[in-house]
Amino acid sequence: MTRTWFGLHLGRILQLVCAITTLALLFYYREGGVKDAGITNPGPRDVGVYIATGNAVLRGVNPYETVGNRFGTVGPIPFGIIDFIVPANLTTVVFQLLNLAGILLFIRTFLQSKIKYSEHITYFLTILFSATREMLVTNQITGILMGVFAFWYSQHNRFLLTNKTKCLISSAIAAVFLVDLKPHLFGMILFFYFLKQRNVRSFLTTIIAWISLHIFVDLTQQRILELDWLKILLALQEQAKDGALLDAVSFWPLIKSVTTLESFPTLALMLPTLLGLIFLSVYLTKKDLIELLPWLFLLPAISIYFHYYDLVPALVLMIASQLKNQSKYFPFAIGFLVIPQEIISPLNILVLIVAILSWKFLIDRAWFLRANVVAAIGLVISYICIHNLGGNPRLIQSWIVTESVVIAAIFIKQRA
């Protein structure tokens, strides 16, 4: 009787679990960093840079001189508008809600699985990721852009089916915001998609929209702001070569910890990405974009500029991939995907166990001895490595990013 009732109401139970977990996270990170030592009211934090940039553009001030942002000038404008509308004491929570809503829209758009309640399970696991919690604690915009990317994808596909101009314009404007705000994460994906579809009209419309919007902003400033943007982007390469790019957590910080990164020529830093582009260009001819998305989102991780919260889209898609294929080695992967930054914390170990057991009991109830032994070995190796990184949060994040790239390679081999 109890089992029958549980089965009938499982969907509502999962929705309630997701809602309670979301509220708990919002409360815990209500100040955008309540767990940070010595920081009681940090304000909007990372999203504050986008707000400040948007406000500067709206006032006709050059943001590259006042804010020092690394992104374009069109994308941040909505952030300045939202900041004007929303009361100051609600700014942080509003952007956190937008991040979580963007993740949910992304899951609903790209999750291709016949498994019942897969959306709820994916969302539940995603908000437990340490990368997602990093996004909340720093109040980043990755989740928001995941929602914008899902909107772009749906509008672009609708245009291909219906040939409606409004869908074409909507997708083009969404693409402008994606490339403007995080070109390293979304620019490459849009390029590959246009290359795959070979739809000249959609490609040209996006280019025209980007140029037109930037020209409009440049005219209000009476200055070519793109030259200032390019100067900042080129400086990133030199900072990486000198080991001074402290906020990047690709695998380069790990390399720097065992060698002298300053001796690396600039070309060597770009070589992995160039090789990845060549590989994906060949691979693209045989695969659909949906299958390529996890690896495209992870490609910047082998370059110099990648952040810990940039992992979230790839992790969601890797979860979706395993939901679809029901991999018996999933415990090995999920052990790394949700691995906390401080694995020795009892609370974080509990989060890890809950995530793994949730997967096993709700989806894959078959227990494979070899798979679980591999998972246990993987967690032990990760614990040893993290324990020996000296508590340096950047190196720990860099290690987890590197693990995710390795797991992606395992997934590719498994699906081949």
Read off the pLDDT of each residue in 96-118 and give the average, rounded to a whole number.
86
C-alpha span between 281 and 289 (Å, rounded): 12
Greater pLDDT, 22 or 7: 22
Distance CA 403, CA 345 (A): 20
Predicted structure pTM score: 0.83
Q: At what angle do helices 142-162 and 91-110 cross, to 10 degrees?
A: 40
- What is the DSSP code (8-state) at residue 342? S
Cβ neighbors of 64 (< 8 A, separation 6 or more) are 225, 228, 229, 231, 232
pLDDT tens for 309-339 read: 898 998 888 877 777 665 555 554 555 555 5
Closest among 306, 384, 382, 354 to 129, alpha carbons compared:
354
- Of residues 65 and 112, the one with the higher pLDDT is 65
Q: What band does 402 get if pLDDT is binned at 50, 70 and 90? A: confident
| DSSP H stretches of helix in 163-182 | 165-181
- Confidence at residue 107, expressed as pLDDT on a 0 to 100 scale: 92
Please tell me whether residue 265 adopts helix, strand or coil conformation.
coil
| CA atoms of 243 and 258, how far apart (whole Å) | 12
Q: What b/e sequence results for 71-107 when a residue is b if at least 16 CB atoms lie within 10 Å of its CB, and e otherwise? A: bbbbbbbebbebbeeeeeeebbbbbbebbbebbbbbb
Q: Rounded to an integer, what distance in angstroms lies between the CA atom of residue 181 and that of residue 75?
A: 6
pLDDT single digits (tens) 225-252: 888 888 887 777 666 655 556 667 777 6
Q: For residues 370 and 376, give the distance between their C-alpha atoms in angstroms, rounded to a whole number.
A: 10
Q: What is the DSSP-derived secondary structure letter of residue 355?
A: H
Give the distance between the most distant pair of CA atoms in the chain.
Answer: 73
User: Has residue 341 got a pLDDT over 70?
Assistant: no
